[in-house]
Structure 1
Amino acid sequence: MRNEIIFYLNGEKHLVSGEKVYWPLSRYIRECAGKTGTKVVCAEGDCGACTVLISNHSTDDFYSINSCISPIFTNDAKHIVTIEGLSLLQEGSNTISKALAHGNAAQCGFCSPGFVMSLADLFEHNKKVDEQMIKDYTTGNLCRCTGYVDIIKSALCVDTSKYKSVKDFFLTPKHIAELSALAQESLCLNFNARTVVIVTSLEELYSYRKKFPQAKLIASATDLGVLMNKGISKEQEFIFIGKIASLNTLNAQDDYINIGSNKTLTDVQKGLEEFYPEFSKFLDEFASPQIKNRATLVGNIANGSPIGDTLPFLVSIEAILVISSIRGTRELPIDKFYKAYKDFDLLSDEIITAVKIPKPKDGTVLKLYKVANRTHLDIATLSAAFYIKIDKSSLIEHLRIAYGGVAETVLRLEEIEKKYLDCSFTLETFEMIGKDISDSIKPLTDVRASAEFRKSVARNLLSRLYYDLGGL
């Protein structure tokens, strides 16, 4: 097995071993490669100053990520491009940077490289852009002094005809062939008492899972990267599954959409837009492009936070988890997976390999709500999902209700669902549902909100739901 990480940075090959494989990518870029255009401010993946572009060997494409929360060991067989790399492909004349400079869209300049890289992601994939697209692609970039109006105006002035593709410049046939070959190689990295195993097949995963039963499984490390930066993560053994090609699947079958555990939220957002546009739209509030380009849907499920943003949706549509081990595969409804806080129906040798998303039922409507201190990129105070069908007689024919942030796990309210089947579609009915929900939940008081506030919001969302469904 290879014992060093190999990647390209702005066209140059880098080999990394020892302690540095645990470093965040941003630290290596700045301290070892000397590319100080990449900045670090929050070290949590929130501000976007550390944004770089990185290749995806399965699609031969580039996308933006937060390098500050991306451990080096998650970047084997990748090609990374920083703002210095953009200057190379623009032959010293960076189209995006020039537009921002001419538009007075920089003051201290500390956030500017991150904005440039996020906009590069935008122009890499779109020949025509508008104001909303610019806002969407820079959701994960914060500016504390210039303000966003000039940044948006300047981005609209970028001459896309002069923009040169990062992919065309850096991913030559030679690079693609080499990176594809490296992506097939497994690794075992040891430093002091720490071990990282990078596997490329389920068979390898099962084997190393038996050898390292306490190892933390990682597909993207968007959570782990934050914990490592803060010195909170104490794990000594890791198994990285991001190179297992069989888990990088998303396909629609007769009744389900199957999503492999390596599929990113960006992939999921695109793949489910046809079936659940409400969820795809909701993901714009869930996370920035940089996070969605790395974070996985199954990772959000396995993390099991009671305020995990995707969980109410998955519970309301009755998603099914595919759980595998060397002994075989079983399927489990997602609402049966969570037994208590961070306590799952998952044996020590099992992993979630996929999630099955049922196709929408005819006539059903999905509504998702997230209550937080700010609209984008914030931890939810409370979230809710309602999956409902009103028949031609204005009666409730189908009802699924799931809440996050009101219990120690995501909560499905089955008794209330049953109680209100065949009830009239009226404001009074929905107010009664809201009251029953408020009476049945037992949320905690914490720094985000009091228990009473959460109960009140949980109740009032039913009135909001009624009007959103067209009630008068």
Structure 2
Amino acid sequence: MSPMTAPQAIRFYHQGRITEVEGLAPTRSVLDWLREDARCTGTKEGCNEGDCGACTVMLAELAEPGDPQAVQGLKLQTVNACIQLLPSLHGKALFTVEDMKTSCRPKDAGQPCSALHPVQQAMVDCHGSQCGFCTPGFVVSLWSVYERQQAQQGAAPTRQQLADALSGNLCRCTGYRPILDAGQQMLDLPARQLDAAPVVTALQSLRSDADWSYAYRPISGQPQHFHAPASIDSLAQLRAALPDARLIGGTTDVALWINKQFRPLGDLIAVGRVAELRRIQERDGMLCIGAGASLEAAWAALAQRFPALTEVWLRFASPPVRHAGTMGGNVANGSPIGDAPPVLMALDAEIELRLGERLRRMPLTDFYVDYMKNQLEPGEWVQGLRVPLAVQARQVRAYKISKRFDCDISALCAGFSLQLDARGQVETVRLAFGGMAATVRRAAKAEAALLGQAWTAQAVQRAQAALAEDFQPMSDMRASAAYRLKVAQNLLQRLWLETRADAPLAADATSVWAAMPHLVSSAQAPEAAATGA
């Protein structure tokens, strides 16, 4: 791909037709376009950083053959419109709360009327809205659940599955009980499915395997380009030709630089159309995760092989963020409070780095060198992550500590893996922490205190003491240094309690819902199963 690829308009399906957009900055958000240009004001702006869910919309792409989550040939996913850049819509379909409106036969001739969608009707019937500001986001999130349910005709989602699907939607008026009631009641109303046929036809006409670019030429200032290569080789060539361009995935972090910091980003190179980077496959004894694979897909693949990672998966941000963001981006970002790196370090993951035709690999533990600094050379980029499947022989745990249970930034995140020999001594141990230092890293001294020792309470106590030598955490708005250190030590204790040879704790023994059943009724208590809903 040449940097001189002829720019084209942004083309996507919206409100029953293919829409073309030109003349707008590539950093314009989908939310701003909807409200200010398309005049679709049902989608609301709340936090403008992908946290509250008021701006939730649904995107559709053509589903891959055999996709078990397909809805009438479409892959439907919720995203936050406030942190999606307008060019990311190219080749897709965009649905908002306005698209749920359908006409009905009027009772009296000449008198128009409209029928509410079952999701909307259930929200009305269950009194799921008060001020109504958050309601469109809740309704769109429930709509995505509704469409999958209608297409797959499986068991109705449980209350906990609905809560997981709504974990990116915040309500401060009504509370969640009546909204969850609506999520259950919507399936009892007369069914109404999305008319997918015209959407599929439109998306087929938009489909292209060619590289694509979009250009914006302001009245004053430098032109800005948005490049979307369609192959990994095109991406490598383009990156080499434009080493100063900003490489982006789902923009779940970069968009905040625009919305909150008003930073100019210059030319952009998006990886979302590179199919090779979205692949997740087992190869040569490794689980290979392309850097462009969504967080949802990557976490699902990890949790399938390491079931103990399920809770961290469901608590990592929210479905709209996980649908858009990438695990490669989360790792490359290098935040000391990122949730994926400590888990991947505990799994002995490698990172793949690409520069032109050169590909090099290194342990993820060696990738971070200082606060927001890593081993990337100029022009180099993350191509993928590799997790040894042999790690499945270990006992793996991951724990996330945050002020809010769902959709919150961690005060502390820990990834642990442990393997004992036939004598019950620690043969292999990995203790990785986020939120404890300027980078995510392993607790080398705590690991040394355990290696070769019998897996006993006394050994754990020595490792807990060693943590104070491994880390000198900072105090900030999320937690004090003393709290972080104490919690890290307590998590080692929890690891031992769950994996000790004598009477290890069952999963429900560490569940707050199981410990305090009096706080919720049996109808409200979350089931323990993972969902992916």
For the criterion TM > 0.5, the same-fold answer is yes
Deviation by residue 1:336-362 (Cα, 9 ceiling, x = unmatched): 111111221111122111111211435
Partner of 1:81: 95
Partner of 1:269: 299
Percent identical across equivalent pairs? 29
Structure 2 counterpart of 1:61, which letter? K
Partner of 2:56: 51
The CA distance in 2 between the partners of 1:372 and 1:307, in whole Å, is: 11
Correspondence list, 1:73-152, <5 A: 73-88=87-102, 92-126=115-149, 127=153, 128-152=156-180
Q: Is the 8 A contact 2:53 2:134 kept in 1?
A: yes
Partner of 1:166: 194
> SS in structure 2 opposite 1:452?
helix
Deviation by residue 1:159-208 (Cα, 9 ceiling, x = unmatched): 36744333725523x21311322x63411413332332222223332333
**Cα distance change of structure 1 residues 319 and 163 upon mapping to structure 2, 3 Å threshold:** farther
Q: Is the 8 A contact 2:450 2:463 kept in 1?
A: yes
The CA distance in 2 between the partners of 1:240 and 1:167, in whole Å, is: 30
Q: Is the 8 A contact 1:89 1:166 kept in 2?
A: no
The 10-residue stretch of structure 1 (396-405 or 445-454) with the greater mean CA deviation from structure 2? 445-454
Q: CA RMSD in A?
A: 2.0
The CA distance in 2 between the partners of 1:185 and 1:175, in whole Å, is: 19
Deviation by residue 1:102-126 (Cα, 9 ceiling, x = unmatched): 1111111111111111011112223
Partner of 1:190: 216
The CA distance in 1 between the partners of 2:390 and 2:310, in whole Å, is: 14
Deviation by residue 1:193-237 (Cα, 9 ceiling, x = unmatched): 233222222333233323322211001111112221113433222
Partner of 2:247: 217
**Cα distance change of structure 1 residues 359 and 88 upon mapping to structure 2, 3 Å threshold:** farther
Structure 2 counterpart of 1:129, which letter? P
The 10-residue stretch of structure 1 (349-358 or 271-280) with the greater mean CA deviation from structure 2? 271-280
Structure 1 counterpart of 2:11, which letter? I
**Cα distance change of structure 1 residues 448 and 465 upon mapping to structure 2, 3 Å threshold:** same
Partner of 1:329: 359
The CA distance in 2 between the partners of 1:152 and 1:378, in whole Å, is: 20
Q: Is the 8 A contact 2:300 2:313 kept in 1?
A: no
After TM superposition, give the deviation of residue 415 of structure 1 in Å. 4.2
Partner of 1:437: 467
The CA distance in 2 between the partners of 1:100 and 1:26, in whole Å, is: 24
Partner of 2:435: 405
Q: Is the 8 A contact 1:443 1:454 kept in 2?
A: yes
TM-score w.r.t. length of structure 2: 0.84
The CA distance in 1 between the partners of 2:491 and 2:363, in whole Å, is: 26
**Cα distance change of structure 1 residues 448 and 20 upon mapping to structure 2, 3 Å threshold:** same
After TM superposition, give the deviation of residue 409 of structure 1 in Å. 0.9
Q: Is the 8 A contact 2:316 2:339 kept in 1?
A: yes
The CA distance in 1 between the partners of 2:94 and 2:441, in whole Å, is: 41
After TM superposition, give the deviation of residue 58 of structure 1 in Å. 5.4
- 1:176 is the counterpart of 2:199: no
Deviation by residue 1:8-34 (Cα, 9 ceiling, x = unmatched): 112222211223432110111122212
Q: Of 199, 202, 205, which aligns to 2:232?
A: 202
Deviation by residue 1:111-147 (Cα, 9 ceiling, x = unmatched): 1111111011112223421101110100111111111
The CA distance in 1 between the partners of 2:98 and 2:215, in whole Å, is: 30
The CA distance in 2 between the partners of 1:386 and 1:184, in whole Å, is: 43
> SS in structure 2 opposite 1:21?
coil
**Cα distance change of structure 1 residues 125 and 346 upon mapping to structure 2, 3 Å threshold:** same
> SS in structure 1 opposite 2:163?
helix
Structure 2 counterpart of 1:333, which letter? P
Partner of 1:305: 335
- 1:248 is the counterpart of 2:253: no
Unaligned regions of 5+ residues in structure 1, if any? none
> SS in structure 2 opposite 1:329?
strand
Instruction: State the aligned residue count.
Output: 470
The CA distance in 1 between the partners of 2:430 and 2:203, in whole Å, is: 46
**Cα distance change of structure 1 residues 273 and 167 upon mapping to structure 2, 3 Å threshold:** farther
> SS in structure 2 opposite 1:375?
coil
**Cα distance change of structure 1 residues 336 and 452 upon mapping to structure 2, 3 Å threshold:** same
Q: Is the 8 A contact 2:347 2:391 kept in 1?
A: no
Structure 2 counterpart of 1:187, which letter? S
